[in-house]
């Protein structure tokens, strides 16, 4: 009995580690995509992200001994969820063709705030004035980040904000589907959906990659698989509300990747905006936990 309790506690303590690892890998995937969209068509980069994600995802079914189900439960909702995630990916990869990775991630961090703002309309959840205040402050924080200085940057920020909105709806649909099948099968369906749908654009948007480009495309899919692998491991023993604050670990690897690969250093106003957006998001998570404890 004592050993079982100790094992359970140990697994809960490792959940944040797995989640942080997953969050640190996501910006590396996005940074790799930023490098690729400078050389290859956006549709091809998005397709490769899903295609190689699909190929590298399949071994996880054998590792976790999960039976593959090609037709998921609640197919309509799963399709809508996959569509919004695909839109999020395409918009964010497109944004990275115009703006620095760190700035794009900073704008993307408004997604939890957008989700909170949409929750009363799409989930029927009651949002108190504490969380509404945090949402408004968070959106105000983006004004410190949205300072286009070159041609095309405004479009880049607009695409990043659209990506955040798509991701927020994706999160809401994910919340609706928490009991529908295994996470791996959900990821599998998402990967198949993205691969098949983007394949229709390839005849019109294709540049034969060299070895370097092909390797980066494979890496993008692999990083997508690894990040989801760690996130799944985290959610096996940790609840979503306790993991949520660690999602901001993304800004660390986004900043480092942007500095090392692209030589971009965010300015003071950008950091002020990032701090405001992150603080607002964390406050929303805190208030959600307070509300849940009262129910």
pLDDT confidence of 214, banded at 50, 70, 90?
very high
Give the residue with greater pLDDT, 15 vs 295: 15
Q: End-to-end CA distance of the chain, in Å?
A: 31
CB 174 within 8 A of CB 77: no
Taking the CA atoms of residue 123, residue 125, residue 129 and residue 134 in that order, the dihedral angle to the nearest 10 degrees is -50
Query: Which of 9-13, 39-43, 154-158, 275-279 is the least confident region?
Result: 9-13
pLDDT of residue 210: 95
Q: What is the DSSP string of 169-216?
A: HHHHHHHHTTTSS-HHHHHHHHHHHHHHHHHTTTTTS-----HHHHHH
Q: For residue 2, what are its two tokens?
A: 């004592």
pLDDT exceeds 60 at position 116: yes
Which of left, alpha, beta for 174 (phi over 0: left; psi -120 to 50: alpha)? alpha
pLDDT exceeds 70 at position 282: yes
Q: What is the reported pTM?
A: 0.81
CB 103 within 8 A of CB 270: yes
pLDDT exceeds 80 at position 45: yes
In the chain, helix, strand, coil percent, each to 5? Answer: 80, 0, 20
Q: What is the mean pLDDT of residues 239-259?
A: 73
User: How far is it, in rounded angstroms, from Cα 262 to Cα 116?
Assistant: 33
Residue 39 per-residue DSSP state: T
Give the residue with greater pLDDT, 150 vs 138: 138
């Amino acid at each position: 009995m004592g050993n079982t309790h100790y094992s359970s506690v140990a697994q809960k303590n490792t959940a944040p580690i797995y989640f942080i690892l997953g969050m640190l890998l996501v910006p590396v995937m996005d940074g790799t995509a930023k490098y690729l969209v400078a050389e290859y068509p956006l549709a091809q980069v998005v397709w490769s992200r899903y295609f190689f994600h699909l190929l590298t995802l399949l071994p996880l079914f054998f590792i976790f001994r999960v039976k593959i189900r090609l037709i998921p439960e609640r197919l309509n909702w799963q399709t809508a969820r996959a569509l919004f995630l695909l839109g999020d990916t395409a918009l964010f990869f497109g944004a990275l063709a115009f703006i620095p990775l760190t700035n794009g991630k900073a704008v993307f961090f408004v997604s939890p705030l957008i989700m909170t703002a949409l929750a009363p309309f799409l989930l029927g959840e009651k949002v108190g004035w504490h969380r509404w205040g945090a949402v408004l402050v968070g959106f105000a924080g983006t004004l410190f980040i949205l300072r286009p200085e070159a041609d095309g940057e405004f479009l880049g920020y607009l695409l990043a904000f659209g990506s955040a909105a798509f991701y927020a709806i994706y999160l809401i649909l994910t919340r609706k589907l928490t009991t529908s099948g295994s996470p791996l099968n959900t990821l599998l369906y998402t990967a198949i959906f993205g691969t098949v749908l983007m394949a229709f654009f390839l005849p019109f948007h294709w540049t034969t990659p060299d070895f370097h480009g092909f390797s980066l495309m494979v890496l993008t899919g692999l990083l997508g698989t690894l990040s989801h692998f760690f996130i799944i491991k985290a959610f096996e023993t940790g609840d979503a509300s306790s993991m949520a604050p660690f999602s901001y670990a993304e800004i660390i690897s986004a900043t480092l990747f942007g500095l090392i690969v692209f030589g971009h250093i965010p300015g003071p106003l950008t950091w002020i905006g990032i701090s405001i957006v992150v603080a607002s998001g964390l406050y929303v998570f805190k208030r959600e936990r307070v509300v849940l404890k009262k129910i």
